[in-house]
């Protein structure tokens, strides 16, 4: 097994063991860190930020995307096209 595959298996197993409150605490910490970094970096309003819509077991949160949007940033997320290529689309809260 490759090192990358072993590490991925370890991370996925660790994520599955987390409780709901542990996940929420992690997500809140990530949100705080990302928003703080954006403020410290003095990103201009309207700056484009690439992100992803996480699965329930993944780090990050839709709340983070919404907070970035509310802060005036353009949030883009990847989508898979029919031919399996990736593209980017603008993320808007509630599918606006």
Cα gap 68→93, rounded to integer Å: 10
Cα gap 51→56, rounded to integer Å: 15
HSE, CB side, 13 Å, CA atoms: give it for residue 9.
6
Say if pTM beats, i.e. exceeds, 0.85. no
Pairing of strands 48-50, 74-80: parallel
Please indicate whether residue 47 or residue 96 has the higher confidence score (pLDDT). 47
Sheet with strand 48-50: strands edge to edge: 48-50, 74-80, 86-91
At 38-79, the pLDDT tens digits run: 999 999 999 999 999 988 777 788 999 999 999 999 999 999
Cα gap 34→15, rounded to integer Å: 20
Cα gap 37→71, rounded to integer Å: 13
b/e for 10-38, b at 16 or more Cβ within 10 A? eeeeebeeeeeeebeeebeebbeebbeeb
């Amino acid at each position: 097994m490759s090192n990358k595959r072993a590490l991925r298996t370890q991370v996925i197993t660790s994520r599955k063991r987390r409780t709901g409150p542990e996940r929420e605490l992690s997500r809140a910490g990530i949100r705080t860190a990302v928003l703080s970094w954006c403020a410290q970096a003095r990103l201009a309003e309207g700056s484009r930020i690439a992100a992803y819509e996480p699965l329930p077991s993944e780090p990050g949160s839709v709340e983070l995307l919404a907070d970035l949007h509310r802060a005036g940033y353009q949030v883009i997320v990847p989508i898979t096209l029919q031919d399996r290529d990736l593209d980017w689309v603008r993320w808007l809260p509630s599918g606006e």
